[in-house]
Amino acid sequence: MGKRLMVVDDSRVIEMQMQKLLAGTDYEIVAYCRDGEEAIDRYGEVDPDLVTMDIIMPGIDGLETAEAILKDYPFARIVMVSSLAYDDTINEADNIGVKAFVYKPLEREMLLEAFEKAMAQS
């Protein structure tokens, strides 16, 4: 059975890119959220195995969104996906409980490695 993925990113291009990169893998995008508020609202109903989270989004950012989801769902597996690669941002994501970090532009192997790393953690 495939793994259910929720993509949280305000860019429609990322959604299409994810679809292409994940074609033929175990991962299926079951929800796409354009902002943090939508992701927080929909997480419980979607019940994904994994979430990819952009950092820079309108409204609340990805770090705040991840923190809110993990507060209500401590076993959520969140992978940050961003071009924002500052050490303090990565450290903050780690402290929140994010399982992995992937840099844009996305590459299939890096994405799948991050997903496997996140899935291996409980």
Report residue 59's pLDDT band, with 50, 70 and 90 as the boundaries. Answer: very high
Classified as helix, coil or strand, 105 is coil
Taking a C-beta distance cutoff of 8 angstroms, is the pair 110, 102 a contact? yes
* Other beta carbons within 10 Å of 21: 17
pTM: 0.95
Pick from 104, 98, 120, 103: which is nearest to 51 by CA? 98
Taking a C-beta distance cutoff of 8 angstroms, is the pair 42, 33 a contact? yes
Given a cut of 80, whether residue 76 has pLDDT beyond it is yes
Report residue 50's pLDDT band, with 50, 70 and 90 as the boundaries. Answer: very high
- Sorted by where each starts, the structural domains of the chain and their CATH numbers stand as 3-106 (3.40.50.2300)
Taking a C-beta distance cutoff of 8 angstroms, is the pair 102, 114 a contact? yes
Condensed to tens digits (0 to 9), the pLDDT of residues 6-42 reads: 999 999 899 899 999 999 999 999 999 999 999 999 9
Q: Output phi, psi for 55, to 5 deg.
A: -90, -50
CA 6/CA 20 separation, integer angstroms: 15
User: Which pLDDT does position 34 carry in this prediction?
Assistant: 96
Given a cut of 90, whether residue 84 has pLDDT beyond it is no
